[in-house]
């Protein structure tokens, strides 16, 4: 196996021979064998071990074992202790996910601080097959079948083409000691059943199972790449970036031979779960919305608008005190000044009769009963009607700011002033308010 | 299950209720239960049973059982006997494949002759999962994971959403008898191991396995559809039809992010197995060829030419006897006539000095030592040089016909006449030969 490993290094990861490497070692047979092989291949590496403190004395014995291993191999070693349970509770994630996040985050820190080029992990061919079968049991899509990647940015898995049997046989042959790994947290039962009760039957049916499976996964990866290339090709015709997120063109989507599948690919990272509702939006009435925990998809005439969920409106209220000149707010800057006369107007600027204003002025989002007296029109108008007349989409309405004096609307910012505060006589005291993003 | 079946019919296959149906019944629990369910749903169906004669008396008992079933259900029944082993040997295919071909071919014949609208088969959810796992064991790509289709042209599988357990429980509850199916030919051992040793473990890990798996396969089908849509989208830019097969544009292929995967998709139905050789053709010297059992892929400057393998050249020889006027040949028609003078020449027509010809003239493909005296040129030329000067691709060279008089070339059909047989004096006896496709 030593020779096979060196050849594999040379052909697939020649860059590792020049690099400064950080090797993740749990103490299990896979990572201990990898450490020995790296030493034999004369790679420039240090060892990193995470103590997740999930198995009391056992965790500490693992730590001691790794310290001793580093000593015998004569390589530098880093140990970090984590309170994994607390982290999992804080972040509301599984123990397994917590361990994963803590581990990769620490590797990242170490790599940056001490200039490691690559992190090596000891995942092997059986890990890939087991994960495939676990995902089959749980239900998945193509991505769940494509497996752990041998090269994923700076994380490298040089044992991915070797089977667990090969690794264990090598350890036995060279009398390499390791610690039986009883971790794997929540996944343990499922993975062990797959490992001990399913994989051996499949291997009995085809002794070359793992080789064949590597080809199978290479094919699946090819297919996944082609799906991504396809989405990349049609993306610019369907999707356009907006101030609020993205617009998806319904007519183009509908012309595709597999509209639903494309819509799924476009939206899969936005947390939607009610996919039938999402698909039905294509033919729904304007205004219909489907929510995920973070996003909304809004049918708006000929587009689907993808936007983040609206933040609580009541929380968004800002005040302009009398005499204030410049106000920096999250949505932009308001400049307030007294002027002698009305200059050329622009949508982002309003001239107000200062005598009619009650301070502090209030900047807020619209609410249902809002009514104003549009400048240049007779009489009043519901704000909702004004929005609809101007064909504002829901995110446009939501992002519109209203400047108020007491309960009265002074200015629909960037859109329309109110008659009641307009300058009717040059002798009035004129306040100019300008909004810039 | 009866109610679930009726609902499933109504929502997924409403067209079956109006159709004239042919139900494939082996005598196993799946097809027998399907026959009962179709009767209860008042569908208009007949039964078709194939006796493959693979299990002697057992096969005949199955046949009797199905005859009896049809009698009890009071529906028409067709029985056909096949010599499956002989067919498999003749066609050089597996027994299983032979049974499949014979079965579907007979169903097709019956459907056409007796105007059946649809053929129903009793495949169920477990068949799909078992096939998935069999393909996993053997090694496959995305297509091998996408499963049996519920609707495949006129073949309909209305039980595909039901599990074997449900079907067996229904049979038991209603005391429906069936014949234990000991067929499945070469696949039997593999399928039985999967059925009895693997699937139960997976179902223990997730009792909702089959439901989840149906979703998984729906996702995989979506992905496969997107791959096909992508290939369909880029196909016209890469592939063009030629007289000899297809040309694939190398520069466009190389610009794609996943060239190899696209090349695989484009060529997968042409029997190639040495894919690395195929991929290397993109950068190979002009003239390099990779073969499959039926096709060749030829690097020719900026294209890959996909063509059928060349038929044996020696077999392709035709004779033009003296006095013959019209000759119909596989590649077209040759018209021979005596004329008084040379008219306007066209590439598909040649005027020869009849006195110099030795009959029968021979039409043949080119061979290596061929030399001729090109009309309008001084001296002789190797035919291979003539081809190269004219930048003929390999299939173009191969498809070119040579008209000979004895050992001498008279005409490179449609390309160039030979000086030696040219008319030099109006008094000569002129033979006009015209070739039309």
Per-residue model confidence as pLDDT tens digits over A277-307 = 999 999 999 999 999 989 999 999 999 999 9
Please enumerate in sequence order all residues whose Cβ is within 8 A of that of A200, keeping only pairs 6 or more positions apart, or say none: none
Residues shown for chain A: 437
Between CA A101 and CA A20 the distance in angstroms is 23
Pairing of strands A245-249, A239-241: antiparallel
In this prediction, residues A76-80 reach a mean pLDDT of 94
Percent of chain A with pLDDT over 70: 98
Between CA A98 and CA A288 the distance in angstroms is 37
Between CA B216 and CA A220 the distance in angstroms is 14
Burial class (CB in 10 A: 0-12, 13-18, 19+), A147: buried
Check: CB of residue A299 under 8 Å from CB of residue A289: yes
Is it true that A2-205 and A221-308 share their CATH fold?
no
> Is the minimum CB–CB distance between A207 and chain B shorter than 8 Å?
no
Check: CB of residue A99 under 8 Å from CB of residue A185: yes
Mean pLDDT of chain A: 91
Q: Which long-range contacts (CB under 8 A, 24 or more apart) does B396-401 make?
A: B396/B244, B397/B366, B398/B244, B398/B310, B398/B313, B398/B365, B399/B243, B399/B244, B399/B331, B400/B365, B400/B366, B401/B331, B401/B363, B401/B364, B401/B365, B401/B435
Check: CB of residue A187 under 8 Å from CB of residue A98: no
Which of B414, B142, B242, B27 lies closest to A145, judged by CA? B142
Per-residue model confidence as pLDDT tens digits over A169-215 = 999 999 999 988 665 444 577 888 999 999 999 999 999 999 999 99
- Closest partner CB to B226 (pick from A137, A222, A262): A262
Check: CB of residue B7 under 8 Å from CB of residue B30: no
Query: How far is residue A43 CA from its own chain's centroid?
Result: 34
Say what the pLDDT of residue B204 is. Answer: 93
Between CA A21 and CA A43 the distance in angstroms is 8
Which CATH homologous superfamily contains domain A2-205?
Answer: HUPs (3.40.50.620)
* Local confidence pLDDT in tens for the 437 residues of chain B: 889 999 999 999 999 999 999 999 999 999 999 999 999 999 999 999 999 888 878 888 999 999 999 999 999 999 999 999 999 999 888 888 898 899 999 999 999 999 999 999 999 999 999 999 999 999 999 999 999 999 998 999 999 999 999 999 999 999 999 988 665 444 577 888 999 999 999 999 999 999 999 999 999 999 999 999 999 999 999 999 988 889 999 999 999 999 999 999 999 999 999 999 999 999 999 999 999 989 999 999 999 999 988 877 767 889 999 888 998 888 889 999 998 888 877 889 999 999 999 999 999 998 888 999 999 888 999 999 999 999 898 888 888 999 999 889 999 999 999 999 988 888 889 999 999 98
Residues shown for chain B: 437
Per-residue model confidence as pLDDT tens digits over A330-378 = 888 999 999 888 887 788 999 999 999 999 999 999 888 899 999 988 8
Between residues 274 and 333 of chain A, which touch chain B (CB distance below 8 Å)?
none
> Is the minimum CB–CB distance between B255 and chain A shorter than 8 Å?
no
Between residues 171 and 190 of chain B, which touch chain A (CB distance below 8 Å)?
190
Please indicate if the annotation marks A26 as binding a ligand: yes
Return the residue of B nearest to A129 by Cα. Answer: B136
SS (H, E, C) chain B: CHHHHHHHHHHHCHHHHCCEEEEECCCCHHHHHHHHHHHHCCCEEEEEEEECCCCHHHHHHHHHHHHHHHHHHCCCEEEEECCHHHHHHHHCCCHHHHHHHHHHHHHHHHHHHHCCCEEECCCCHHHHHHHHHHHHHHCCCHHHHCCCCCEECCEECCCCCCCHHHHHHHHHHCCCCCCCCCCCHHHHHHHHHHHHHHHHHHHHHCCCHHHHHHHHHHHHHHHHHHHHHHHHHHHHHHEEECCCEEEEEHHHHHHCCCHHHHHHHHHHHHCCCCHHHHHHHHHCCCCCEEECCCEEEEEECCEEEEEECCCCHHHCEEEECCCCCEEEECCEEEEEEEECCCCCCCCCEEEEEHHHCCCCEEEECCCCCCEECECCCCCCEEHHHHHHHCCCCHHHHHHCCEEEECCEEEEECCCEEEHHHCCCCCCCCEEEEEEEC
Between CA B161 and CA B124 the distance in angstroms is 6
Which of B184, B129, B192 lies closest to B162, judged by CA? B129
ipTM rounded to 2 decimals? 0.79
Say what the pLDDT of residue A185 is. Answer: 43
Domain map (residue ranges) of chain B: 2-205, 221-308, 313-436
- Which residue of B132, B205, B255 to mutate against A (max A Cβ within 10 Å)? B205
What is the three-class DSSP state of A279?
helix
> Is the minimum CB–CB distance between A136 and chain B shorter than 8 Å?
yes
Burial class (CB in 10 A: 0-12, 13-18, 19+), B408: middle
The order of strands in the sheet holding B317-320 is B317-320, B361-364, B402-405, B408-412, B416-417
Between CA B168 and CA B215 the distance in angstroms is 23
Say what the pLDDT of residue A340 is. Answer: 86
- Closest partner CB to B201 (pick from A198, A209, A260): A198
Say what the pLDDT of residue B187 is. Answer: 58
Pairing of strands A303-308, A349-353: unpaired
Please indicate if the annotation marks A376 as binding a ligand: no
> Is the minimum CB–CB distance between B253 and chain A shorter than 8 Å?
no
Say what the pLDDT of residue B183 is. Answer: 55
A274 CA: distance to closest CA in chain B (Å): 14
Q: How confident is the model at residue A427 (pLDDT cuts 50, 70, 90)?
A: confident
Computed on alpha carbons and rounded to an integer, the radius of gyration of chain B in Å comes to 31
Which residues in B lie closer than 8 A to residue A234 (C-beta atoms)? 233
Say what the pLDDT of residue B186 is. Answer: 45
CATH class of domain segment(s) A316-436: alpha beta
Which of A397, A394, A401 lies closest to A329, judged by CA? A401
Say what the pLDDT of residue B170 is. Answer: 95
**Is A221-308 CATH 3.30.70?**
no
Q: Are A225 and B261 an interchain contact pair (Cβ–Cβ within 8 Å)? A: yes
């Amino acid at each position: 196996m030593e020779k096979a490993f060196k050849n594999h290094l040379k052909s697939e990861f020649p860059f590792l021979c020049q690099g400064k490497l950080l090797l993740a070692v749990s103490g299990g047979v896979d990572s201990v064998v990898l450490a020995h092989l790296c030493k034999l291949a004369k790679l420039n590496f240090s060892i990193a071990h995470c103590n997740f403190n999930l198995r009391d004395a056992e965790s500490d014995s693992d730590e001691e074992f790794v310290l001793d291993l580093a000593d015998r191999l004569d390589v530098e070693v880093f140990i970090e202790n984590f309170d994994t349970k607390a982290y999992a509770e804080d972040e509301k994630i599984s123990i397994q996910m917590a361990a994963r996040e803590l581990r990769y985050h620490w590797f990242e820190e170490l790599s940056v601080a001490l200039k490691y080029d690559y992190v090596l992990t000891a995942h092997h061919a059986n890990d890939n097959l087991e994960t495939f079968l676990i995902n089959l049991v749980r239900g998945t899509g193509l991505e769940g079948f494509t497996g752990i990647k041998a090269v994923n940015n700076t994380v490298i898995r040089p044992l991915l083409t070797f089977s667990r049997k090969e690794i264990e046989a090598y350890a036995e042959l060279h009398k390499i000691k390791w610690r039986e790994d009883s971790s794997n947290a929540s996944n343990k039962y499922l993975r062990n059943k797959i490992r001990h009760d399913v994989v051996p039957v499949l291997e009995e049916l085809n002794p070359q199972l793992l080789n064949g499976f590597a080809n199978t996964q290479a094919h699946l990866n090819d297919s996944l790449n082609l799906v991504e290339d396809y989405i990349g090709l049609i993306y610019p015709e369907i999707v356009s970036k907006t101030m609020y997120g993205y617009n998806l063109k319904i007519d183009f989507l509908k012309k595709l031979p597999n509209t639903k599948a494309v819509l799924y690919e476009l939206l899969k990272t936005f947390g939607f779960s009610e996919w039938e509702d999402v698909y039905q939006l294509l033919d729904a009435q304007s205004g219909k919305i489907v929510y995920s925990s973070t996003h909304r998809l809004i049918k708006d005439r000929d587009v689907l608008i993808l936007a983040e969920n609206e933040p609580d409106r009541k929380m968004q209220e800002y005040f302009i005190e009398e005499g204030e000149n410049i106000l920096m707010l999250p949505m932009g800057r308001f400049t307030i000044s007294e002027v002698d006369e009305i200059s050329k107007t622009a949508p982002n600027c309003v001239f107000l009769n200062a005598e009619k204003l009650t301070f502090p002025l209030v900047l807020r989002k619209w609410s249902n009963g809002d009514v104003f007296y549009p400048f240049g029109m007779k009489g009043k108008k519901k704000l909702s009607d004004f929005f609809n007349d101007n064909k504002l989409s829901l995110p446009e309405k939501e992002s519109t700011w209203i400047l108020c004096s007491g309960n009265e609307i002074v200015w629909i910012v960037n859109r329309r002033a109110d008659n009641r505060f307009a300058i009717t006589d040059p002798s009035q005291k004129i306040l100019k308010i300008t909004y810039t993003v």
